[in-house]
Amino acid sequence: MKIDTAMILAGGLGTRFKEYTKDIPKPMIKANGKPLLVHIINFYKSHGVKNIIVLGGYKIEIIHDYFNANGDLISTDENTYIFNKEVEIKIVDTGKETMTGGRIKKGFEHVKNNFSYLTYGDGIANVDLEKLKDFHNKFCPIVTLTAVRPPARFGSLDIENEKVIAFNEKQQSNEGWINGGFFILDKAVVNYIDNDEQSFEKEPLSKLSKENKLNAYKHTGLFRPVDTIRELEILERELENNDFNF
């Protein structure tokens, strides 16, 4: 199975982070001077994935402006850039009001092979893509998603004999699993997406689950969504420490 392309969802309104997204798309929020989108691109590049399809919509011109300034435009018609001298970035306008299912369906029109990676433009993890691919090959579903532990909302205390023996900062929760993105998609997934108004996380994934064509790879490593200023600050510290290893 060859996967040389990754799609990144970058077209939503980002309503949970209005401090920034009233002016820019959420994936263009900067962490340590670089947009989240660029950190995600660098993650895929570190795994040898050098064809990136950015599924844009809301304020897509901001994304174009960035790559016009920091990349080399190689095709005006295809909205394609060379970034960091070796990564091909194609920016696809999937529509401002299009939901995630519709964006993915439009994105696959530009994927040359039968498989693609996919993730959201507002979260970073240190997922091992080779292990993810091996897992997908083992079960051969239409979709494999990366399941992660949700970030803990509160710190924790270790108490013995009414004394606090350890005060722990917020980390990953040990309760339950959530969809962390970092998917592998078989192109057949487009048959489960009916229209642009469909959220990928609702009907399509629900149908796939009922048909036993959706698998979950459990990632117990680092996962950092960015929905608040506090989470952005934590991400910046983790990036400074090279916790993601890319």
| pTM to 2 decimal places | 0.91
pLDDT mean over 4-31: 91
Over the range 98-130, which residues count as b (16 or more CB within 10 Å of their CB) and which as e? Answer: bbbbbbbbbbbebbeeebbbbbbbbbbbbbebe
Per-residue pLDDT for 167 more than 80?
no
**Please, what is the average pLDDT of the chain?**
92
User: Residues 188-243: pLDDT tens digits?
Assistant: 999 999 999 999 999 999 999 999 999 999 999 999 999 999 999 999 999 999 99
Residue 171: pLDDT band with limits 50, 70, 90: low
Residue 153: pLDDT band with limits 50, 70, 90: low
User: Residues 98-108: pLDDT tens digits?
Assistant: 999 999 999 99
pLDDT mean over 7-21: 86
User: Residues 65-87: pLDDT tens digits?
Assistant: 999 999 999 988 889 999 999 99
Per-residue pLDDT, 245: 87
